[in-house]
Structure 1
Amino acid sequence: MRDRISVFLEEKQGLSANSKQSYKYDLEQFLDMIGEQISETNLKIYQSQLSSLKISAQKRKVSACNQFLYFLYQKGELKTFYRIELLKQAEQQQAKPELLDLESFWQESDFPEGRLLALLILEMGLLPSEILTLKVADINLDFQVLRIKKASQQRIVAIPMRLLPELAPLMDQTYIFEKSGKAYSRQWAFRQLEAFLKERGFPELSAQGLREQFILRQMEEKVDLYEIAKKLGLKTVMTLEKYR
């Protein structure tokens, strides 16, 4: 199915190089979401995934996908002519996330574990589950990188210079957060993080909110969406489109 994208683009007349690249990006993302099996169910799942994007982005993607679906139908590769419809938009659009001033997180705290958890999420975009299972053996302070392992996959994440002094005292342990050599639970991490965020005056924030702040900071620094997705361990940039 993926090889049909290039054939589809070759048959479209008058498209600029940038337009073709945009079509290619949207269609590859479409196939990443639905796989090789086009069905009403898969298209509805894709449709729902678009709801978090700006209206202009939704319209662009739906238009590209519908043209591609019609092309496949014309070529006899689909027995049914499928069409994606835009979902009805809510009366009020969700407010754009606000970039917060969280410099106070670097100050000393009565909840040091919660503080370090918050900094690792804010500065590196890590998930609490990734942090709790992170072994000291997977951290290299000399090269300023750490390795995140998930099943058979792994990714290398750069450690910001400011975090090095925070991690250095923990290098003789097994895990960054541990008790008697065993990693703490997610419930423990939640309580520590919650206590720290309340102390700093951000009780409405959560691990998810801090991860969003990481994304907003990356966007502020003009980091490419693909690079941000790579740092976060995401397979596609779909969930990051709303930050454009």
Structure 2
Amino acid sequence: MPQKKKEIQSFLRFAGYYRQHIKDFASIARPLYKLCDKDTVFEMTADRVKAFESLREALTTAPLLLMPDFKLPFKLYIDASGDGLGAALHQVQIINDKPVEGPICFISRQIKPTEARYGASQMECLCLVWALEKLNYFLEGCVFEVITDFTAVKSLLNMKTPNRHMLRWQIAIQEYRGNMTIVNKDGNIHKNADGLSRWPLPKNIDNLLMCQKKLHHKSQ
């Protein structure tokens, strides 16, 4: 449960990214948006708790979450902040004869004390390596795009004199190079990953925040 306005704001950025998939989003979220008003004292009243729980439920259930189709490419949105790392795995599928991009799962974690010293470029590269590790089940052997707002992520692949961190990360992503394309876009394009990185899972938890159950896929 959010403990301060900053966390509510991050959650709303994240949920708002998927508002077109959530029925009655505006009316459900209204109590939370009012809580973000400058002069409103932070208090999670019953109606605000209900709004938060309703949105969280909507974000973790169909029809918002897609079942992965391993014959189609994936899109991996990543973002790192001073609070944590976040990633959202998407896919474009044909639904009702129209191409629709939707989420398959979301992941998030807080940064570790040793990582707090990293610069922004290092942090974004760390986010990529972490996301690939956590989502290997989905991405191994599949074609996918990585969407990031940092050019450093693309540079990581071709860096000729990397420091020890970058060298280790270069090695970690080698298995994906033939299937992975990195695309740089403005941060406003992927508020889904941005919201996750600014409202990460608690310390010592590094797991799927929301995800479909595992499927028996690659041998089928």
TM-score computed with the length of structure 2 as normaliser: 0.26
Q: Which has the larger radius of gyration?
A: 1
User: Structure with the greater relative contact order (CA < 8 A, sep ≥ 6): 1 or 2?
Assistant: 2
Q: Identify, as 1 or 2, the structure richer in strand.
A: 2
Q: Identify, as 1 or 2, the structure richer in helix.
A: 1
TM-score computed with the length of structure 1 as normaliser: 0.24
